[in-house]
């Protein structure tokens, strides 16, 4: 529930909610989980009941934190549930990925591990800039690339509903607000149709840990949630998401 368009009720204004019944909409969770773990995203090694905040964490409902109980701001919390061994418990393993060639370039789509934008770009460069190939988070300047990737995501039951509701791709406006550039350094041409409606909106959210708390990094966004079309959206760079790497020239010949 940490996305920007939560629904009809603005739950974010009231608190932080990670309800199991809501998580079931996007994650495969067994019918009878045996255990739950809650933790603050910024303090992952502190047990939830030893943080300075007042919240509830229970297997019967998930996690509830009201801003009113916490000086008007709950931290961002994460939950996970455990299932008995005989039951498949999670949909995403440590490196759920698929890949496809578009033209000469190879695109690798990662559901997990989820990472912040910069870490994801570093990962693409570190893992795949070998044998003379150049790699980074994916550049979607070409319409053919954009639409092939969107069609791939939309047509897959698993990839159409990624954890954290989007995939990092290789553009941002961190240097000059409102001017987006690709990871290759080339400018992103202004084409309204490539953006999700009402975006880029540079939405400010105090829970975004970035400087200015605004939105400077690009994702292919799972929106609308029921039938996502994966257009481009600007998002808080320090959120952790799946991502798409591009290895340029890998598919030539």
Report the interface residues with Ca ion, using CB under 5 A: 173, 177, 199, 201-202, 212, 214-216, 233-234
Residue with the two structure tokens 């893992």: 127
Cβ-based nearer residue to Ca ion, 65 or 237: 237
Minimum Å distance from CB 236 to Ca ion?
9
DSSP 122: H
Residue closer to Ca ion by CB (options 80, 203) is 203
3-state helix, strand, coil in the chain (%, to 5): 20, 30, 50
| Distance from C-alpha of 220 to C-alpha of 185, rounded to nearest angstrom | 19
When the beta carbons of 90 and 209 are compared against Ca ion, the nearer one is 209
Shortest distance, CB of residue 204 to Ca ion, whole angstroms?
9
Residue closer to Ca ion by CB (options 183, 199) is 199
Euclidean distance between CA atoms 222 and 88, whole angstroms = 24
As measured in angstroms, the least distance from the Cβ of 215 to Ca ion is 5
In the complex, what is the shortest distance from the CB of residue 54 to Ca ion, in angstroms, rounded to a whole number? 30
CA 26 from centroid of its chain's CA atoms:
13
**Residue 35 or 177: which CB sits closer to Ca ion?**
177
- Which residues, in sequence order, are bridge partners of residue 36? 81
Rg of the chain taking only CA atoms, in angstroms: 19
Closest distance to Ca ion from the beta carbon of 117 (Å)? 12
């Amino acid at each position: 529930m940490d996305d920007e368009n939560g629904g009809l009720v603005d739950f974010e204004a009231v608190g932080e909610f990670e309800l199991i019944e809501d998580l079931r909409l996007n994650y495969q969770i067994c019918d009878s989980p045996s255990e739950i773990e809650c933790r603050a995203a910024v303090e992952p090694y502190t047990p939830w009941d030893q943080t300075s905040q007042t919240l509830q964490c229970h297997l019967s409902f998930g996690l509830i934190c009201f801003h009113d109980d916490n000086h008007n701001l709950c931290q961002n919390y994460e939950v996970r549930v455990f299932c008995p061994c005989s039951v498949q418990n999670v949909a995403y393993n440590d490196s759920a990925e698929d890949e496809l060639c578009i033209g000469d370039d190879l695109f690798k789509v990662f559901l997990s591990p989820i990472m912040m934008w910069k870490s994801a770009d570093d990962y693409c460069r570190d893992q795949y800039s070998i044998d003379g190939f150049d790699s980074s988070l994916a550049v979607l300047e070409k319409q053919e690339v954009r639409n092939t990737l969107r069609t791939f995501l939309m047509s897959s039951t698993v990839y159409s509903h990624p954890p954290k509701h989007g995939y990092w791709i290789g553009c941002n406006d961190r240097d000059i607000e409102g001017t987006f550039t690709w990871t290759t350094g080339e400018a992103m041409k202004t084409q309204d149709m490539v953006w999700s409606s009402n975006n880029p909106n540079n939405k400010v959210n105090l829970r975004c840990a970035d400087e200015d708390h605004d939105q400077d990094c690009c994702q292919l966004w799972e929106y609308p949630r029921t039938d996502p079309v994966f257009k481009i959206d600007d998002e808080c760079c320090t959120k952790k998401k799946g991502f798409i790497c591009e290895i340029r020239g890998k598919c030539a010949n």
